[in-house]
Amino acid sequence: MGLAKTEIFTDQQNKIALFAKVFGHPARVAILQQLFKINTCYCGDLVNEIGLAQPTISQHLKELKNLGLVKGSVEGTSVCYCIDAKNWTAMKAVMAEFLDQDITTSDNCCKN
High-pLDDT (> 90) share of the chain, %: 58
Over residues 43-70, the pLDDT tens digits come to 777 888 899 988 899 899 999 999 999 9
Give 3-48 pLDDT, tens digit per residue.
568 889 999 999 999 999 999 999 999 999 999 998 788 777 788 8
Supply the pLDDT for residue 3: 58
Domains of the chain (ranges; CATH) run 11-95 (1.10.10.10)
Phi, psi at residue 48, to the nearest 5°?
A: -70, -35
Q: Global pTM?
A: 0.82
Q: What is the mean pLDDT of the chain?
A: 87
Q: How far apart are CA 89 and CA 41, in angstroms?
A: 17
The predicted structure's pLDDT at residue 60: 93
Which of 72, 91, 71, 81 is CA-nearest to residue 50? 81
Looking at residue 105, what DSSP letter applies?
S
Confidence class for position 73, pLDDT limits 50, 70, 90: confident
